[in-house]
Structure 1
Amino acid sequence: MKYRCVVSDLDRTILRRDGISHRTKEVLEKLADSHVIFIPASGRSVYSIPECIREIRGVRYAITSNGAAIYDLSDDHSVYNLKLRPEVPEQIFDLVTDKDVFFECFIDGRGYTSEIYYENPMNFGESEDISAYVRSTRTPVPDIRQFILQHNTELDSISIVGPTEKKYRIMHELTQNIHTVYVTSGAPRLIEISDRHSGKHNGLKEILRFLGISMEETIAFGDGDNDSEMLAEAGLGVAVLNATECCKKAADLVIGDYLDDSVAEFLEETVR
């Protein structure tokens, strides 16, 4: 099979704490020389896509917010965008009443969170890395619930941050009771909610249709539950060794750990 597109998750697939490795960047840039398109696919919103990804030669489009939005990175304009239905925020708040969870929202690619969480995420169980990420990519607001309700017609997505032991119970309640949303998770403490037609797999279908490329001509890489459907539907789905069990089960192949430049090594051997 001659592959024409490579799509990859970012965090813990090709993206490390300190960015992407020189080898990975070099391999991804060589794809363009072979007329293979590279597309990042992330749960991140567009303005959270790091510069090290944006500056890869040949990268133009990005699937963001778990497939709820696709952006042209040349000028950050949206070429595809789904919004949550206006009634969804109130439905979520009625269902999720736990006192130890926090909400975030995203509007046109920009993230918003509560002031109390933003000031020191480590007080709420976050790692130093996640705390730095939150403070560099979110705008704090005094009352995040009220902010979400006030902007209920503009929302790309809503995230819930909380204890890992509550995650799957809350996800189940959301999917069973709100039938207009897509619910997934890209990190242990995170629940991500967007329109029911989103998902990285659906975002990938949209951009491939635009580019005139089939799913069969696409290799997809990932590590999280939110990558599973994309890996299952791509021509070749590849999970890294550090992936969740759900992601590994969806993949055709499991390669090495992301810290070992496994995606770059695989592409060197597969796409020529």
Structure 2
Amino acid sequence: MFYTGGISFNFSRNPYYRSSYSYAATHSIPGYVPPGYNALRTTLLQRKKAHVDRLLKPIKDFWVKNGVSIVSDGWLDPQRRPLINIMAVSDGGPVYIKAIDGSGEFKDKHYIARVLRDAIKEIGHEKVVQVITDNANVMKSAGALIEGEYPKVCFGCYNTKKVEVDKKMPSSHGYWWDRVDYILEFTAPIYDMMRVADTEKPCLHLVYEMWDSMIKNVKVAIYRHEGLEDDDYSSFWSVVYDILIDRWTKNCTPLHCLAHSLNPRREVFFTSCLDR
């Protein structure tokens, strides 16, 4: 529970924690002593890390054979600390490397480049094929510094609409990136809606219409890619539509409809809202 449940090691010092184990020991396993503070921080943690390393070995073997991509993104944790995530992605699957707390740091191109440079060194520059970050200007500037030091490592930036890849990317990867562009294109409306909903601003009254618009935009992107007319059948769209509707059915409540109907800018949709 300490390693997977997010419980602080200091909790092992709590007298109620220790007494709970004592109670369990006297009723089922007499003489049992719970792990102590030092053991949790040292030997037991080392064993857990070694176990995780053994589980990750098959994935890391792909890094040597086929190369690995470093993916980095910034976000704020519940304590509002600015964190930078570092992940390694390969054919074997994604591996979380670490999160860096950037509190108190001036996040210019030199700082970002240093963070990414350390990640490349930790994984091994000979295994790293590319580094992918978001498309903030500071990230692009940091990418130029990285490429200057590691010319064999491509640097790319992404947003919700497209992936921008360095021209040095081999042409054989063109088809793969076309598929990535397509995936980003039809999932962008879903992502955009999630970003609007995942804010502290009130948006309950907008969810109903946003959901309808999102489904329409996803269909438009898929049909445009497949060259179909609006009344044509698409097996792929049928699968995506069923997934979206299933999710909406689980989450939709009468409260969404009520909030939508009371929104003065959306009264035109009131009738269709009630019909549903």
Same fold (TM over 0.5): no
**More strand by percentage:** 1
Higher relative contact order (CA 8 A, sep 6+): 1
**More helix by percentage:** 2
Task: Tell me the TM-score normalized by structure 2.
Answer: 0.28
Between Structure 1 and Structure 2, whose CA radius of gyration is higher? 2
Task: Tell me the TM-score normalized by structure 1.
Answer: 0.29
